[in-house]
Amino acid sequence: MALVTSTEMFRKALASNHAVGAFNVNNMEIIQGIVDAAKAEKAPVILQVSAGARKYARPAYLLKLVEAAVLDSGIDVCLHLDHGEDFEICKKCIDDGFTSVMIDGSKYPFEENIALTKKVVEYAHARGVVVEAELGKLAGVEDNVSVDERSAKFTDPMEAKEFVERTGVDSLAIAIGTSHGAYKFKGDPYLDYERLKEIHALIPDTPLVLHGASTVIQEFVDKCNEYGGEIPGAQGVPEEMITEACKYGICKVNIDTDLRLAMTAEVRKYIKENPKEFDPRKYLAAGRDAIQGMVQHKIRDVLKGSDTL
């Protein structure tokens, strides 16, 4: 078995109005939980590595853990660089064996974003690797990506069309109202579906990507707080809003915060209820099971991507 690109995953997603789950990975238990969930749901999956993950776990460890997951599960797994900040990190990941990279030039002016993205596309495509780019800015914080809400900018549909045509990028992350982290909205949740529909109509064959799409399910926030956490007022994107977005070209949905909350809640619970236990395998196994349950729920009930292998 080998890692695959997201090309065929997205082709099927576009044709059937579902999305592929893209889940961030940081250690063995998270990878195992995600892949076990995807296998149980008979769904392909994208494992994402962020700047924070590279710093924490180190690239060589993550790469070998993902390779082991492919061998162990036999399912289609795409290994993706999340929020690559420059050409050099994209090149490094491509050379190391990633099958997909994201170059995030959204902080640059339009023409600079195009030039940077095109450079990455040319290098990646020559080596059989696909590229995601971003146009528009999301509010919130994710690892070393920080954008003030006041400067958050929704994606312009005509710019999206020009951007895809001039760069040859394989998929495009757009800004329609989501944000990174556990505190996505101060008021009522909002996604700009009309903007999404317009973008999809202009570039119907381009898979669109939704970043910052965790729901921040209250059950898990409450459980974290019950067992010693302090996470007041967290709010995410309602799951029905994510499902609706998948009808209009969203083929990849990024989920990280929900996994963190699920795992942390169960680890906190286990330690609190088993004060004499000091074997890390025990509480990490509980966290791994929580990851699997969350990912299965997302694939089956939100992204509607089950039975697509």
pTM score? 0.92
Burial (CB count <10 Å: 0-12, 13-18, 19+), residue 27 = middle
Is residue 177 within 8 A of residue 154, CB to CB? The reply is: yes
At 180, list the tokens. Answer: 């990174």
Collapse the DSSP code of 48 into the 3-class scheme (helix H, G, I; strand E, B; otherwise coil) and give the result: strand
Q: What is the pLDDT of residue 1?
A: 59
d(CA 10, CA 239): 20
pLDDT tens-digit map of 68-116 = 999 999 999 999 999 999 999 999 999 999 999 999 999 999 999 999 9
Is residue 238 within 8 A of residue 214, CB to CB? The reply is: no
Collapse the DSSP code of 144 into the 3-class scheme (helix H, G, I; strand E, B; otherwise coil) and give the result: coil
d(CA 120, CA 126): 10
> Residues 36, 72, 76, 82: which is the catalytic one?
82
At 6, list the tokens. Answer: 């997201």
At 91, list the tokens. Answer: 């090149």
Phi, psi of 144 (to 5 degrees): -100, 15
Strands (E), 85-158: 100-103, 130-135, 139-142, 145-147
Backbone dihedral region for residue 148 (phi beyond 0: left; psi -120 to 50: alpha; all else: beta): beta
222 catalytically annotated: no
Q: What is the pLDDT of residue 20?
A: 97
Total Cβ atoms within 10 A of residue 249? 25
Per-residue pLDDT of the chain (309 residues; tens, 9 = 90+): 579 999 999 999 999 999 999 999 999 999 999 999 999 999 999 999 999 999 999 999 999 999 999 999 999 999 999 999 999 999 999 999 999 999 999 999 999 999 999 999 999 999 999 999 999 876 654 445 544 554 458 999 999 999 999 999 999 999 998 766 654 555 677 899 999 999 999 999 999 999 988 888 889 999 999 999 998 877 788 999 999 999 999 999 999 999 999 999 999 999 999 999 999 999 999 999 999 999 999 999 999 877 766
d(CA 81, CA 4): 14
**Cα-Cα-Cα-Cα dihedral sign, residues 153, 218, 300, 24:** positive
Strands 145-147 and 139-142, how do they pair? antiparallel
Q: What is the pLDDT of residue 182?
A: 54
